[in-house]
Amino acid sequence: MSPTQTTFWSLLNDYSIRIPIIQRDYAQGRDDKTTAVIRNKFLHSLHKTLLANNRAKPLDLDFVYGEVKHPDEAKLRYMIPLDGQQRLTTLYLLHWYLAVAEGRLEEVKHVLQKFTYQTRSSSREFCDCLAKCEPADITLGVDQPLSEQLRDAAWFQPAWQRDPTVQAMLTMLDAISEKFGTPVGLFDQLTESVDPLIGFQFLELDKVGLTDDLYLKMNARGKALTDFENWKAEFDQFLHLHHPERQGEFAQRIDGPWTDLFWHHQQGSPDSMDTAFRRFLEYVTTMLGVWRSGVKVQEEEEEAAADPFELYRKVYTDADNVHFLFRALDLLSPDEVRNTDVFFREVFSKTQKEDKVVLFDGGLNLFTRIINGANPDIKVRVLLFALLNYGVTIGSLRGDDPELHDLLRVVRNQLERVRQLKDTKFGPVLREDAMPSYLADAAALVSLSATGQSVNVYELLAKGIPARLRSGPRFAPEIEKAKLILQNPALKSAVHQLEDLAVFKGSLHSLSLEEHQESIGDFAAAAKEIWSGAASQEQIIRAWLTIDDYSLNTGGSRLGDKYFFGSDENWYTMLTSSDTKIKDLLPRFLSAYLSSPGATATERLLNMVDAWLAKEQEMDWRYYFIKYPRMTEDSSGQYAWESSFEMRLLSRSSLRAFHINPYVRTVIGLVADNSKCSEYDSGTSDAYKSPLWCNRVSSGEGATQYVGLYCEDDGWRVRMPEGYVPAEELASMYGLQSDLKGRLQEDPSTDRIQTALAFIDDLYKFGISPAVV
């Protein structure tokens, strides 16, 4: 076939021209320097040709390839350009501009309306409104740019400004206006079909043997198709071959609500929108294929790069997976959820709120956490998949659906329970290779439901689902809670309140719920009061120790085992430990707290302390921890236990970091005079001793010396500087020996903190003196 020269106007009279969904956005109007140069050269050629009006030297725009459709030859014929989109769009804008300039838009608008974009609904709507706009909306030859006049028109939708094709068209119209000004007679010259001034050769694909594969390799005389644009084209063809009944739905939905979904979150940037869409597709496809179905993909990088569509082909051969993908996009789209930010705020919260599920880390919108991050957290991926699986199974998503909340709560609790203790902190150990089990469990929690019915996750856990869970042991606490809630629904709110406290993160095994059913509501209120931040760390530790020694052994050191008592930064480890001691002592602590008088958490805790101290007590380590706040306040809460009095309060888990004897620290805090003693001087590292150094003690001769107080099991050992002895009055008062082994004689009615304070006061009063040789 020898193609004949045709014009845009002739083509538009013969067919409706539809820029297909697989095409990229209009590029010749992009606002960058390189495109501006190309745009100006093209417009210059068009302008020069029209002004010269020399039909012996026409402007040939090369080939335009397209596919002609004849669904109903009597009524409709349309052409889908597969190469030539950019040139055709520029010619469309030039025809519109010249029609406006010569007052002929009303005459020809019915033809211009036959050109449209199907890449986005906003592009299509803009083209339609542009062709029908009123002359009053436009005044050529004035200072106000044409693009601004169009944006100010009543029919222009602000949201269109986020459409890159619309933006590019407006930029091109400004460029045309600047180049052509207010021309006369050019419209007829441009639309003349005999010996046209500006034309091209139109080739129909089915007549020249071109294939869709060839199109995918075309550059379209501009920027190559993006990965996402290639994916759209290939997926469309894949559906045509394997699921033809869904091909039309795909074209319609990706042109409308699905794209709108991603625009809302990407502020209209085409690159970021495509990236977001691609990330979500990869997420759903990987979850469905790799993790849920075990689809294997090529491992060799070169082979995988040669066929990037391989995973999609394998996953979506299964019609159920196509259905899941389509419904997942539908469920989150503006047609159903309307606004994902609002939806996820209805489901989740960062702090405890009635009828919502607390997320303990990160943002609430799981969807945006997927599309905005290259490697989303495993918890996020599984929670979102559980939510989407619920919606696909039930048929809808509602932010106020209590059974959706319950499901996500159970999944969250189970994921939080996948953890490992390292020193004093539980850290997540969720693994990629365990994803199949996480997803299987999440799916099992809704699998017994029929489409269109709700899912009561507690009924499933209590009655039928446990045997189908792959991570059974981790669900044991959820099963216990489910049975409890079904037996006594009134407890559900209190259980949820406890679960949503950051000090529990869903793990309530240490509260022995079944045993303390009648107290669960009170426990929830007490725990919220105690660990809301109103009570200090040392108040909680001291009050809890009045019940018994609840500390956790966290391993060994060169100074002995390490013990953890909790801290403001990490009560979670303490309250959710599997240690049987906690399971016994935590409920007892909360019960005692509830019985203690006081209007605030601080008053109740301090009253527990005062009541315990009011009784005659053995002056062991627990006595000092309870009586003196400085033993535990503002600290890591972890101690290396050489002995009950020769221990170290650690700043970090390793002895290489700063540490100090807590009795020494307490005395220094009560002296409150850095000129006499300080934590900095008395702290140490490694396995060295941590004595209390009394600084600049007068020797009676003007010199300054340092006296050390070593806290040991037998009391305070006093170490005088070499060559010095305590003043006679001081030695007499405290029964000190003259050698370096002096030890304070303690009154049985006075504890060692009080003894040390009195000694330091007298030390600075009487001083020391050189030893007599």
736, 742 Cβ separation under 8 angstroms: yes
> Model confidence over 667-676: pLDDT tens digits?
999 999 998 9
Q: Which of 169, 189, 224 is the last residue of a domain?
A: 224
Distance of CA 139 to the CA centre of its chain: 49
> Model confidence over 63-76: pLDDT tens digits?
788 888 876 554 56
For residues 90-116, average pLDDT:
94
What pLDDT score does 120 carry?
Answer: 79
Nearby residues of 204 by Cβ (< 8 Å), 6 or more positions away? 66, 67, 68
Q: Are residues 47 and 173 in the same domain?
A: yes
What is the band of 45 on the pLDDT scale with cuts at 50, 70, 90? confident
SS3 label, residue 768 = strand
> Model confidence over 370-410: pLDDT tens digits?
998 767 899 999 999 999 999 999 888 999 999 999 999 99
> Model confidence over 268-306: pLDDT tens digits?
455 678 888 989 999 999 999 877 766 665 544 433 344
Q: Are residues 105 and 23 in the same domain?
A: yes
Q: Are residues 12 and 111 in the same domain?
A: yes
Q: Are residues 680 and 616 in the same domain?
A: no
For residues 628-653, average pLDDT:
96
Q: Are residues 745 and 710 in the same domain?
A: yes
Q: Are residues 265 and 411 in the same domain?
A: no
**Domain encompassing residue 446:** 339-484
Tokens 């600084």 belong to which residue? 695
With a cut of 50, say whether residue 518 has pLDDT above it: yes
For residues 116-144, average pLDDT:
87
What pLDDT score does 264 carry?
Answer: 74
What pLDDT score does 69 carry?
Answer: 80
What pLDDT score does 75 carry?
Answer: 58
> Model confidence over 209-247: pLDDT tens digits?
444 444 444 433 344 456 677 788 778 878 888 898 998
Say if 358 falls within a structural domain. yes
For residues 511-519, average pLDDT:
94
- End-to-end alpha-carbon separation of the chain, Å? 125
Say if 507 falls within a structural domain. no
Say if 177 falls within a structural domain. yes
pTM for this model (two decimals): 0.72
Tokens 């977001």 belong to which residue? 276
How would you list the strands of the sheet with 692-698, edge to edge?
Answer: 692-698, 704-712, 715-719
What is the band of 680 on the pLDDT scale with cuts at 50, 70, 90? very high
With a cut of 90, say whether residue 347 has pLDDT above it: yes
What pLDDT score does 702 carry?
Answer: 57
What pLDDT score does 211 carry?
Answer: 45
What pLDDT score does 21 carry?
Answer: 75
For residues 619-626, average pLDDT:
97
Name beta bridge partners: 63: 201
What pLDDT score does 699 carry?
Answer: 57
Encode 328-359: b = buried (16+ Cβ within 10 Å), e = exposed. bbbbbbeebbeebeebbebbbbeebeeebbbb
Q: Are residues 757 and 679 in the same domain?
A: yes
Structure tokens at 327: 């419904």
What pLDDT score does 701 carry?
Answer: 58
88, 202 Cβ separation under 8 angstroms: no
What pLDDT score does 297 carry?
Answer: 54
For residues 602, 607, 610 and 615, what is the CA-based torsion angle, rounded to 10 degrees? -150
Q: How many CA atoms lie less than 13 Å away from 376 in the CB half-sphere?
A: 27
Say if 392 falls within a structural domain. yes
Q: Identify which of 118-122, 249-253, 624-628 has the greatest average pLDDT.
A: 624-628
> Model confidence over 143-159: pLDDT tens digits?
899 999 999 999 999 88
Encode 190-210: b = buried (16+ Cβ within 10 Å), e = exposed. bbbeeebbbbbebbebeeeeb
Angle (nearest 5°) at CA 419 between 416 and 421: 135
Average pLDDT in the chain: 87
Name beta bridge partners: 707: 694
With a cut of 80, say whether residue 654 has pLDDT above it: yes
Say if 733 falls within a structural domain. yes
What is the band of 497 on the pLDDT scale with cuts at 50, 70, 90? very high
What pLDDT score does 226 carry?
Answer: 63
Which region among 10-24, 210-224, 738-752 has the lowest average model confidence (pLDDT)?
Answer: 210-224
Phi, psi of 427, rounded to the nearest 5 degrees: -125, 150
Say if 448 falls within a structural domain. yes
Nearby residues of 148 by Cβ (< 8 Å), 6 or more positions away? none
Say if 354 falls within a structural domain. yes
Q: Are residues 233 and 298 in the same domain?
A: yes
Burial of 639 (0-12, 13-18, 19+ CB in 10 A): buried
With a cut of 50, say whether residue 552 has pLDDT above it: yes
Name beta bridge partners: 349: 358
Distance CA 24, CA 470 (A): 45
For residues 604-620, average pLDDT:
95
For residues 538-543, average pLDDT:
98
Q: How many domains does the chain have?
A: 5
Percentage of the residues of the chain whose pLDDT score is greater than 70: 89
Q: Are residues 211 and 271 in the same domain?
A: no
Q: Are residues 635 and 690 in the same domain?
A: no
What is the band of 178 on the pLDDT scale with cuts at 50, 70, 90? very high
SS3 label, residue 39 = helix
Say if 500 falls within a structural domain. no
Q: Which of 281, 314, 336 is the last residue of a domain?
A: 336
What pLDDT score does 65 carry?
Answer: 81
> Model confidence over 442-458: pLDDT tens digits?
888 886 554 556 678 99
Q: Are residues 78 and 189 in the same domain?
A: yes
With a cut of 90, say whether residue 77 has pLDDT above it: no
With a cut of 90, say whether residue 773 has pLDDT above it: no
Q: Which of 650, 679, 713 is the last residue of a domain?
A: 650
What pLDDT score does 212 carry?
Answer: 47
> Model confidence over 561-593: pLDDT tens digits?
999 999 999 999 999 999 999 999 999 999 999
Distance CA 158, CA 176 (A): 23
What pLDDT score does 343 carry?
Answer: 95
Q: Higher confidence at residue 375 or residue 430?
A: 430
Q: Are residues 164 and 204 in the same domain?
A: yes
